[in-house]
Amino acid sequence: MTDHAPLGRLNHIGVATPSIARSVETYRTLLGATAIGEPFDLAAQGVRVCFIDTPNTQIELIEPYDESSPIAGFLRSNPAGGQHHLCFEVADIHAAIADLTAKGARVLGEPRIGAHGTPIVFVHPKDMGGVLVELMETPLAGH
């Protein structure tokens, strides 16, 4: 087992919502958000996504793409939506997966291409104190 820590910069906070349009309006009117991207579909991940930039990270609003979406399941338990995951950057996703697996954490499936166009993978919330964690490969993570 290695003691290599895969933790890098907080890239985004995932927020599940039944309506990206309504959430955008909430962030705009209550918090004054202005840097709001255009929503887009990521069918392979089962989500529709919209990024809101803040000075030090991004809010990732995620809506179910269809009923098989992991967000559809989350909304069944949390109909109003809510904080869904934290995403941390890692320099080498395969090294991070090997490290976490060796330490007994459940990594959910194989890396897939995420909303930023780089490989992502999720760590089970039951192994992360109740927080679903996404790891995102970013060559400059930690710099």
Which positions lie near Co ion, rule CB under 5 A?
14, 60, 87, 134
> Which residue of the set 60, 63, 89, 134 is catalytic?
134
- Nearby residues of 120 by Cβ (< 8 Å), 6 or more positions away: 87, 93, 111, 112, 113, 114, 134, 135, 136, 137
6 binds, among Co ion, ligand LP2KCY5N, none (CB under 5 to 8 A by kind): none
Among 55, 9, 49, smallest CA distance to 32 is for 55
Binding site for ligand LP2KCY5N (CB under 6 A): 14, 42, 45, 47, 49, 60, 62, 70-71, 73-74, 77, 84-85, 87, 108, 114-115, 120, 122, 124-125, 130, 132, 134
Strands 47-53 and 119-123: unpaired
Residue nearest to Co ion (CB): 14
Shortest distance, CB of residue 1 to Co ion, whole angstroms? 28
Q: Hey, what are 58's tokens?
A: 């991004």
Shortest distance, CB of residue 71 to Co ion, whole angstroms? 11
Distance CA 95, CA 37 (A): 32
Distance CA 93, CA 111 (A): 8
8 binds, among ligand LP2KCY5N, Co ion, none (CB under 5 to 8 A by kind): none
